[in-house]
Amino acid sequence: MPSSLTAVPNVRRIETDRSDVFACEIANHVSAADLENLYGLLEGAYALHPRIDVLVHFTNYEGVDWSELSEETKKEGQEHANAHIRKCASIGGPDWVSHFSGFFAPSIDVELKRFEENEEQEAWAWIGATPQPLDI
């Protein structure tokens, strides 16, 4: 069993060449703590830019524990997404485009597009950004 020092988080930020693009990888099974982490990362992006584009890359996706997240947190996440997200691309994983279109208010103009795993380059081009290596 891996220790907490070797465990890799299931939500990981992907650096990009544009500061107004929030990109992340979501892997394996996503817990309520992972969702809280994701919301915190998004809040940081919203604080820097009033409008952002989002790219989510799913790898080895095994589901999300939405039931463990409070209704208040879900509602706040939806309100903030409505206020800040312009475009959202997903790569691999489930087809959440129809699910997420219900996540955004009908009066909000958010472009959503899903890409297959083998279309990663197309997803990055659609968002208009390039992933960057981490500065370690």
Q: What is the CATH number of the domain that holds 104?
A: 3.30.750
Main-chain dihedrals φ then ψ at residue 38, nearest 5 degrees: -60, -45
pLDDT, tens only, 99-108: 555 555 555 5
Where are the strands (E) in 17-67, listed by range? 21-30, 52-64
> What's residue 7's pLDDT?
64
pLDDT band at 20 (very low <50, low <70, confident <90, very high): very high
Residue 5 lies in a domain: no
Residue 79 lies in a domain: yes
Alpha-carbon distances, residue 83 vs 57, 105, 114 (angstroms): 22, 10, 21
**What is the domain extent for residue 95?**
11-126
Asked whether 11 and 24 are in contact (CB, 8 A), the reply is: yes
pTM, 2 dp: 0.85
Residue 65: in which H helix or E strand, if any? Answer: none
How many domains does the chain fold into?
A: 1
CA–CA distance, 29 with 65 (Å, rounded to integer): 8
Q: Which pair of tokens denotes residue 55?
A: 């790219």
Residue 81 lies in a domain: yes
Alpha-carbon distances, residue 8 vs 20, 26, 64, 113 (angstroms): 25, 11, 16, 27
